[in-house]
Amino acid sequence: MYGRDRSRAAGLPSPTPVVLHILVIDTVLWLLAATGHLTTVKLALSDTFQVWQIFSYMWVHDSFFHLFSNMLGLYFLGTEVERALGALRFLRFYVVCGVAAGAFTWLIALFMTALDTRGASGAVFGVIAAFSMLWPDRKLMLLFPPVPIKAFWLLPMLFGIQLVFGGGVDLWGQLGGVAAAFLMLSKKVAPKLSWQQLRYRWNRYRARNRLRAVYLDERGRRKTRPRDDDDPTIH
C-alpha cells in the first residue's frame, strides 16, 4: 500500500537509527513468536487487561503480512519524519502515538466487543499523519496500486479502505494514534506538550500542593489554638 517519494525513485532510503531499531525489534519478536519461542498472549491488548499491554501490544504482530505492511509504512515515511524531528523526539512521538492508540482501543472495546489487539498500526498511522502534516503536497508512489498520490490524501484513502474491509475496533485505535500525532505536532498545542513544559507544569503542580498543605496545616493550628478571651489568666 505504501510507496516511496518519487524524488527518491533512484534508490531506497537508508533507515534512520530509531526506525531501524523498531524494524529489528518488531521483526525479531515476530520470528520468535512464529517459531514458538515467544508467547505473545500476555503482550497483546486483551480483555484480561494489564497496564503494560498498552505499551507492549505495539511490538507484536499477528502475521507476516501484518508486520510487513506496518514496517513498510514506517520504513518509507518514518525515516523522513525522524530526520525532521530528530531521533529522541521521533522515538517519543512514535511511542506516544502507539500508547494513545492502545488506550483508545481499550476504551472503545469496553462498549463494543471483545478485545484482542496487537500491532504497530496506531503508531504507524501517527507517523503517516506526521508526514502528511509536514509535507502535504509531496507526491508518493503507491505500491498497490502503483499510482502517484499526494501525502495529504494518504490517510483518508487508508481509512476508506479500512471501512470498506471492516477495520473493527482497530480502526478506532488508528484514529487514536492520528489524534495524538495532530496534538503533538500542532503549532498551537505542541509547545504545551514539550518535555520542558510538562516538567514545568509538574513542578508547579507539586509546589502548589506543598503550599496548600502548609496553608491547611496553619489553618488547622489556628482553629485549635486557644483564643485570648478564653484564657482565664489574662483577666
Q: What is the pLDDT of residue 10?
A: 44
* All cell numbers assigned to 126: 501517527
Proportion of the chain above pLDDT 90, given as a percent: 46
Average pLDDT over residues 32-37: 93
228 DSSP 8-state letter: G
Report the mean per-residue pLDDT for the chain.
Answer: 84
By the 8 A CB rule, do 79 and 22 touch? Answer: no
57-74 pLDDT, tens per residue? 999 999 999 999 999 999
Measured in degrees and rounded to the nearest 5, phi and psi for residue 120 equal -95, 15
1-21 pLDDT, tens per residue? 555 444 444 467 789 999 999
Average pLDDT over residues 156-183: 84
Average pLDDT over residues 172-192: 81
Q: What is the pTM of this model?
A: 0.75
Who's near 19: CB < 8 A, 6+ residues apart? 74, 75, 78, 79, 82
